[in-house]
Amino acid sequence: MSTSRVTLTFGDGTYTFCLRIREILELERLTESSIGEIATRLMTGVPRMRDIYDSVRLGLIGGGLPPTSALLLVENYIAGVPLADPRDSSSPMATAQAVVMAVWVGMEEVPDTLSKEEVPPAQEDSGLETFMEQGLPQG
């Protein structure tokens, strides 16, 4: 099952992000771009500042945070930090990418636990294991 909700570490904690229809429409209005254009800019590494700032802010609001709290978070944790630090998996750029890609292509839901019925059956030998055990023919 796929979802457009994503839980990420950002700033001072872990938050749920979601771009619902109203947030997508607002994001498109603010950036004067379609959600597809925003996703393309974010994933190709050439976003506008509004792509990052508003994707994160509106994603927090869609995830259930009050607008004033979302605004404070982005003001505190986007201003004055490297936007795309490759060593920081929760950088503003990485966060915006995850939020937009969750609505664009979806994210896999990860269940807390699997019941016995949900555990996939063991796969039959595809031939690779047999091949690896026998090794290459000697010539």
Q: What is the DSSP letter of 123?
A: P
Q: Could you give the CA distance from residue 103 to residue 55 in angstroms, rounded to a whole number?
A: 11
What is the mean pLDDT of the segment spanning 101-127? 56
What is the mean pLDDT of the segment spanning 104-126? 52
For the CA atoms of 54, 59, 62, 63, the dihedral, rounded to the nearest 10 degrees, stands at -150
Report which of residues 118 and 105 the model is more confident about: 105
Report which of residues 103 and 133 the model is more confident about: 103
What are the residue ranges spanned by the domains of the chain? 2-110
pLDDT the model gives residue 122: 45
Give pLDDT tens digits for 1-49: 456 899 999 999 999 999 999 999 999 999 999 999 999 999 999 999 9
pLDDT the model gives residue 108: 64
pLDDT the model gives residue 57: 97
pLDDT of 135 strictly over 70: no
| Contact call for residues 98 and 17 (beta carbons, < 8 A) | yes
Give pLDDT tens digits for 79-100: 888 999 988 888 999 999 999 9
pTM of the complete model beyond 0.85: no
